[in-house]
Amino acid sequence: MKKIKTPTIRKSIFISFGLMVIISSGINFYKSRHMKEPVVMSPGVTQVKRLGQYFSGIAGTINDSHVYLLEGEQPGGTILVLGGTHPEEPAGRLAAWIFVENAMLEKGRLLVILSANKSGSTVTRLGGAYPPDYTIPTPWGERKFRMGDRWSNPLDQWPDPEVYIHYPSNQELAYVDIRNLNRTFPGRPNGTLTEKTGFAITQLIRKEKVDIVIDLHEAELQYPVISTIVAHERGQDLAAMASMMISGTEDFNIGMENSPPELRGLSHREIGDHTQAVSLLLESPEPMLDACRGRTDRKLLLDGKDEFLVKAYQHGLLFEKIDKNGWPIKKRVGRHTSSILQITELWTAEHSDKEIIINNVPKYSQLIKNGVGVYLHNPAEAPPVRLEWE
Amino acid sequence: MIIVTFLYYILSAYIAFIIVWNLVKSKKWQDELLYIIILIPFILRILRLK
């Protein structure tokens, strides 16, 4: 009988180890990429379209995202809410989700995209050890969401160039930002997947004659643009008024900043420059994004409590307050819902021919009292016609 | 872009082949273990899992 050599046995053991790692991690990555998130649409949702209906170049791709249309009985203005431009900023997606699952339009139209960059929602930051998903407790059980990344999944757009040259400004940006939807507006019809996604959203805004676009984001506490409304020139009055009204009437403060004309590719700059819409971007604080955070887990994602950030704040290193109570998700989502409602109220007061009246959406105080889960409905009890999947 | 992406997958497969070749030829256990670890991301990318 031929004797098996020691190196062969050793190599077989190593190869088996490698296969185990590939299979176990591969299954996790596959499940994470293909996880479906239910959407129990409010009776206010009158149509569900796709981005591909506005630009055929995106049809059939992973970023052929749903566009939820909520139409009032009376005509009026049109507002577009973008969730998931940066999917790793979950309060933005969740706030948009609350609108789709609860809002009723009295006047005008509300358009919502929950996964503006769906590709980005199927991966987490490479090397960041982020959790792939998180769950929101509800009165009927739990609702699971993908965590996502700031950039499109490299499986959908690869490789990155040495330098990303933004279209049409030709401004040179970081190579990785060619996969950042909020650096590729207004988009390019023959560009990369992310550029095509930006172009599809720009086309939607033009074709649906959108009056206001609100792009929902979160920011690290070490970043100066935080807890604020970033406004294009044509939205500065609206944003300034909203900032004052919110800070005066709600239990939180929000600032207002002008969109820098020299910083290209961002929604607040390019949508304002290239379409008829007033373009605004909302930022709420997300401790999980900070570089000096501690353990990066689902708990930090949801409760926003981090002792290292508290220490950084005590040393004056942050642009937003943080204490032992952290920044729980209900607070971050509530800031977004209240801000959107305030902006539409002010818009309606100034535009009698383009009124937008949104009912049945919880404000900040209600979210603080009840939590996010109360406003997410049970997909098992939803009629099939009112159920959609992201 | 699609052509460039395709070429990158070809390149990944070629590098994976070279790593496997080196693994087979290697006589030091430290190198063998290192080749296995290096190989994992290439395989995951070729299989379009990560």
pLDDT per position as a tens digit, A324-347: 999 999 999 999 999 999 999 999
Rounded distance, CA B43 to CA A359, Å? Answer: 51
Pairing mode of beta strands A212-219, A278-285: parallel
Give the per-residue pLDDT at A45. Answer: 98
Query: At A83, phi and psi to the nearest 5?
Result: -110, 150
Question: What type of residue sits at position A61?
Answer: T
CATH architecture of A40-389: 3-Layer(aba) Sandwich (3.40)
- Please tell me if residue A19 touches chain B, with a CB cutoff of 8 Å: no
Rounded distance, CA A324 to CA A185, Å? Answer: 38
Looking at the partner chain, which of B1, B32, B44 has a beta carbon nearest the beta carbon of A22?
B44
Looking at the partner chain, which of A7, A15, A33 has a beta carbon nearest the beta carbon of B36?
A15
> Is pLDDT above 80 for A1?
no
Query: What beta strand segments (E) does B6-47 contain?
Result: none
Whether B33 sits inside 8 A of A14 (CB atoms) is: yes
- Please tell me if residue A159 touches chain B, with a CB cutoff of 8 Å: yes
Rounded distance, CA A373 to CA A137, Å? Answer: 5
Give the per-residue pLDDT at A2. Answer: 67
A30: which chain B residues are within 8 Å (Cβ-Cβ)? Answer: 49
Where along chain B do its domains lie?
2-46
Contacts of A346 (CB under 8 A, 6+ apart): A238, A241, A242, A245
Q: Can you list the alpha helix ranges (DSSP code H) found in A66-190? A: 90-102
Give the per-residue pLDDT at B1. Answer: 58
Query: Does the pTM exceed 0.80?
Result: yes
State the ipTM, two decimals: 0.94
Q: Which helix (H) or strand (E) holds A239?
A: helix A236-249
Query: At A372, phi and psi to the nearest 5?
Result: -75, -40
Q: Can you list the alpha helix ranges (DSSP code H) found in B1-50? A: 2-25, 29-46
Give the per-residue pLDDT at A6. Answer: 81
Q: Which of A289, A248, A272, A342 is nearest to A91 (CA)?
A: A289
The C-alpha angle A144, A309, A268, rounded to 5 degrees, equals 65
Whether A29 sits inside 8 A of B43 (CB atoms) is: no
